[in-house]
Amino acid sequence: MIRAHTVDQVRAAEALLLAELPEGALMQRAAHGLAYAVLDFLGSAYGRRVVLLVGSGDNGGDALYAGVVLARRGVQVEAWLLSEQAHAGGVAALRAVGGRVVRLDTPLVPRGYSTSFRPDVVVDGIVGIGGRPGLRPNAVAALAALEGIPVVAVDVPSGVDVDTGAVDGPHVTAALTVTFGTHKGCHLLDPAALACGALELVDIGLPEVEPVETTSTTEWASMEALQPADVAALLPRPGPASHKYTRGVVGIRAGSATYPGAGLLSVAGATCGLAGMVRYDGDPAVNDWVRDRHPEVVGAGRVQAWVVGSGSDTAAEQALRDSLADEVPVVVDADALAFADLARGRPAVLTPHAGELARMLGVDRAAVEAESLSFALRAAHEYDAVVLLKGRHTVIAEPGGRVRVTTSGTPWLATAGAGDVLGGVIGALLAGGLDPFDAASVGSWLHGAAATQAAAGGPIVASDVAAALPSLVAALIASLDTE
């Protein structure tokens, strides 16, 4: 499992480690890890060229000492100092091994810079985890002068919000981000995660710092990204004495004469095999479609979870009221989200995309897309329910501040009906016994991974995702059994 930590948590862990290490040892660990990551990125050392963009903090020191390692391996290294307070020891060490140091003292180009020195890689050591969103003009000018050259970011891409993943103003867009000790929120949360490129985690011996619960409506207490082994361990699995009822029964109230496909796709997601039975109790106009395509689905009756809202049109409110009356967990999607306040305080998973969440909170969609974490946490608090905010990196938040981010998936998953399948999968997991937070995060991971498997690098439609789920689940279980 990937666990991310806040800036305050990272600083607390670093303080504990620094108390045990000789002065400068922690920076050397980070610098060596960074240098070897850059060498791997370059593919060779001798004769390659690297420019270091160096700010005033320890992040710049990491870059300078990494430059020392690179220079000793035959790399031509040039450091552009963006501040008068650059790490003095790092500057001296780089000069001592033949590295070139220039200062960016105008908003245009560094003094002494020659356009003949075109680097293979730029190392972003402008600001670290203490930085604020946006960049100063001289940093923007430096990046503009080096446009088109791949960037390796030190710890985080400079200019992003480290805890929230928000972006406000100019920032670095990296091909690779080399981070130290632990992941940070911006590595998982869009839009900043888009700016990270590939991620490489360097172990510097950072001790674990336990997260502190928060009462904030927009700050997270803990953040995780499930990995295949985590998903496999959480999957509900039948035992020798299991039967269809003990494995869980999920009910679907989705689709309408106007949108019959939404009902069919919700059923398709629910019939992935993770629940023992699927019941369809939606619009009668969709019944024949369901029976024709999913003969294993039965009619109305008792269930352990409901999936409500996809394509329900004008029936969404009553369908949600009827489902909540059964006092079982509910997935609230699409048309039913307009009535999500009815589910407040219930065991529920609300599954909006950015536009739907914007309507639920009375804000602009662009604001939600810019700060997905903050608005997901706000909605979880206001509706007292688990909120799954769909996106490239889906955010799952619960009222207490726990957050999971789904990083599985493919851009081809942006296709009509994919959300209907997701709701069915989550409903099956709820019926199978998972709590809403686990059901939402496991269901989202499976949904993304099934899409990647089905796409195989090309386009897909939503029904392809549903069809890929059973084989994906089988592979996950097999991998767990062989460990």
Do 130 and 246 reside in the same domain of the chain?
Answer: no
Distance (Å, rounded) from C-alpha 448 to C-alpha 410? 7
Looking at the domain assignment, is residue 217 inside a domain? no
Distance (Å, rounded) from C-alpha 98 to C-alpha 81? 16
Do 442 and 382 reside in the same domain of the chain?
Answer: yes
- Give the domain CATH number at 394: 3.40.1190.20
Domain count, the chain: 2
Do 152 and 293 reside in the same domain of the chain?
Answer: no
Residues of the chain with pLDDT under 70: 105-117, 212-213, 215, 483
Distance (Å, rounded) from C-alpha 317 to C-alpha 215? 31
Looking at the domain assignment, is residue 434 inside a domain? yes
Neighbours of 287 (CB within 10 A): 17
Looking at the domain assignment, is residue 218 inside a domain? no
Q: Please tell me the predicted confidence (pLDDT) of residue 266.
A: 97
Distance (Å, rounded) from C-alpha 375 to C-alpha 382? 10
Q: Please tell me the predicted confidence (pLDDT) of residue 212.
A: 67
Strand ranges for 9-145 from DSSP E: 49-54, 76-81, 100-103, 121-125
Q: Please tell me the predicted confidence (pLDDT) of residue 217.
A: 76
DSSP string, 207-242: PP-PPPP---SS--SEEEE--HHHHHHHS----TT-
Note the pLDDT tens digit of each residue in 347-395: 999 999 999 999 999 999 999 999 999 999 999 999 999 999 999 999 9
Note the pLDDT tens digit of each residue in 409-437: 999 999 999 999 999 999 999 999 999 99
Do 147 and 247 reside in the same domain of the chain?
Answer: no
Structure-token pair, residue 97: 């091994």
Q: Please tell me the predicted confidence (pLDDT) of residue 109.
A: 53
Distance (Å, rounded) from C-alpha 7 to C-alpha 55? 18
- Count Cβ atoms within 10 A of the Cβ of residue 121 and give its class: 0-12 exposed, 13-18 middle, 19 or more buried: buried
Q: Helix (H, G, I), strand (E, B), or coil: what is residue 454?
A: helix
Strand ranges for 127-264 from DSSP E: 151-154, 176-180, 183-184, 198-202, 222-225, 249-253
- Give the domain CATH number at 120: 3.40.50.10260
Do 280 and 360 reside in the same domain of the chain?
Answer: yes
Distance (Å, rounded) from C-alpha 228 to C-alpha 383? 30
Q: Please tell me the predicted confidence (pLDDT) of residue 358.
A: 98
Looking at the domain assignment, is residue 221 inside a domain? no
Q: Are 338 and 321 in contact (CB under 8 A)?
A: no
To the nearest 10°, the Cα dihedral for 371, 377, 378, 382?
A: 160
Note the pLDDT tens digit of each residue in 304-341: 999 999 999 999 999 999 999 999 999 999 999 999 99
Show the domain range for 200.
2-210
Do 186 and 234 reside in the same domain of the chain?
Answer: no
Q: Helix (H, G, I), strand (E, B), or coil: what is residue 153?
A: strand
Q: Please tell me the predicted confidence (pLDDT) of residue 116.
A: 61
Do 204 and 276 reside in the same domain of the chain?
Answer: no
